[in-house]
Structure 1
């Protein structure tokens, strides 16, 4: 059975910011999608570990600090449950699907380490599918943006309630399926091979972005912030800057 005919474990987080080393999960969702399964989304709300949610983050996902503290459960319990939910799906042979997976999976890894939870990649060896990486590979020179909303428009996927964890996780799964169905050479790869190819493609894509920044006037300072690891950015060693 090709990978796009299997169930997917969709993943998405809304967070306090964009730095996994410092920011926190606010909401998270693990979705069961495709493969003859009923689409099912389980969503968690975290208290964000007491971290203040900046106004710019609230403007994206709608959660204020007060709302997260009121409705959210302890962050450690949320992280443990999400990690366990993903690990159980990986054990069944399902791929994890996440848009810009290096962010979500690194965020989960750092939250797990922060709360004494065994990290996902220490529990199992996930195969990951990233619609962002796939789209850049199959349509490298297409003009326009590459956000999830952009990909949904391009691949004709409904996205209702953008920037809510469940809507984004479901949409990412649908886009991944559409890419595979449109570009069948991808589906002829075994899932583990597709994962390894994405490691290489993501490196090439990010290295290209880094080089572009480095040679573009006014953007040189951005080059240092581009990370080429995928689907997980390794945690800094003790004594290394984060």
Structure 2
């Protein structure tokens, strides 16, 4: 895009980051792209690779295609910070899921360098994903309209909702069976099949407990999904800190979570 149609009071910088991972405090930026929409309708784009000073995990490189050797000779964020701050001077900020990821990540990187270099106090923040989710709601009525081209009468009456859900599922299977998409590693696969085992795998395969305080990692191991032990194997945590189990059992977690954790603990004893 070389021109835009937005009515602006300040330039609007659309930001997208590639990073070593999704943890705002631990991970680092490996590439930053900014498309600056100016008041005169023009758009200038700037893209920079960044040496994150920490290794990029292979599974992350497979998603964005940037490997350690690609950034080994690039400047660090610290070296780029001043010119980046100048480029973003006086701009409002936008992105896709940017309020939860790109902006917090960027702010964190700037704060490590100098707490006064980059401030978001007087900037407007626009998250395009939020507009998408607001205007194209992910409700049953919206799905019924999208997949079945019908308006759901009596939404929230249980009978109308169950029948509409069945109709949507049938329409989804018809629409997507045979449709291939690419996974993280660029391998093509066909996610939707007219087969209940496959549909379970697609929608519920990493489910351990319903509150999702635990989940399965890529090796199929049960790991914690929250707090200080996020990403650690549940069996390792229970072994090293047995009091963590007691803390969960005595805290305000759902009974389902407590039961699943207890099952894991009992299996360990065997």
Range of TM-score over shorter length: 0.5 to 0.7
Residue in 1 that maps onto 2:76: 74
Counterpart pick for 2:41 among 37, 42, 55: 37
- Which has the bigger relative contact order, CA under 8 A and spacing at least 6? 1
SS at match of 2:116: coil
Q: Structure 2: state its 5+ residue gaps.
A: 147-183, 185-208, 216-224, 228-270
Contact 2:49-2:71 at 8 Å conserved across structures:
yes
Structure 1 CA distance, aligned partners of 2:20 and 2:210? 31
Residue in 1 that maps onto 2:24: 20
Larger C-alpha radius of gyration, 1 or 2?
2
Structure 1 residue 125: deviation in Å? 1.6
Residue in 1 that maps onto 2:67: 64
Residue in 2 that maps onto 1:126: 123
Residue in 1 that maps onto 2:161: none
Structure 1 CA distance, aligned partners of 2:24 and 2:13? 21
Residue in 1 that maps onto 2:97: 100
Structure 2 CA distance, aligned partners of 1:60 and 1:218? 27
Structure 1 residue 89: deviation in Å? 3.4
SS at match of 2:46: strand
Contact 1:79-1:108 at 8 Å conserved across structures:
no
SS at match of 1:52: coil
RMSD: 3.1
How many residue pairs end up in the alignment?
147
Structure 1 residue 21: deviation in Å? 0.2
Question: Judging changes above 3 Å, is the alpha-carbon distance between structure 1 residues 119 and 60 closer, same or farther for their aligned structure 2 residues?
Answer: farther
Alignment of 1:87-236 (within 5 A): 88-90=89-91, 95-101=92-98, 102-121=100-119, 124-141=121-138, 142-143=142-143, 217=210, 219-221=212-214, 224=226
Question: Judging changes above 3 Å, is the alpha-carbon distance between structure 1 residues 34 and 118 closer, same or farther for their aligned structure 2 residues?
Answer: closer
For residues 176-204 of structure 1, the C-alpha deviation after alignment (integer angstroms, 9 at most, x for no partner) is xxxxxxxxxxxxxxxxxxxxxxxxxxxxx
More strand by share: 2
The question of 1:84 aligning with 2:86 is answered: yes
Structure 1 residue 53: deviation in Å? 0.6
* Bigger Cα displacement from structure 2, 216-225 vs 24-33: 216-225
TM-score under structure 1 length normalisation? 0.52
Contact 1:97-1:129 at 8 Å conserved across structures:
yes
